[in-house]
Amino acid sequence: MKEIRYLDNVTTLDLNREQCIGCSLCTEVCPHNVFVLKEGKARIIDRDACMECGACVNNCPSEAISVNPGVG
């Protein structure tokens, strides 16, 4: 089955790695596996897979993730 994707290069997803505390909640709640935990911090591995649902933002205790749903 072909991977479901949105539009390339339009997502507003942003991650501040310096602010990230490495809790890994974003990796657990993201329905499209946009994040991985690497070297104790989150990393975006597939920005274009983001559908701007906001699950990562709503669960990030350090407010290291931002997204502006509906813009991208």
Q: How many of the other CB atoms lie within 10 Å of CB of 18?
A: 8
Q: Is residue 6 part of a domain?
A: no
pLDDT in tens, 7-33: 788 889 999 999 999 999 999 999 999
Residue 64 to residues 2, 4, 6, 11, 61, Cα–Cα distance (Å): 31, 26, 23, 16, 8
Q: CATH number for the domain including 59?
A: 3.30.70.20
How many residues belong to the chain? 72
pLDDT in tens, 38-52: 999 999 999 999 989
Q: What is the pTM of this model?
A: 0.85
Q: Is residue 48 part of a domain?
A: yes
Q: Is residue 60 part of a domain?
A: yes
| Full residue range of the structural domain in which residue 30 is found | 14-66
Would you state the pLDDT for residue 58?
A: 97
Q: Is residue 44 part of a domain?
A: yes
Q: Please count the structural domains in the chain.
A: 1
pLDDT at 2 over 70: no
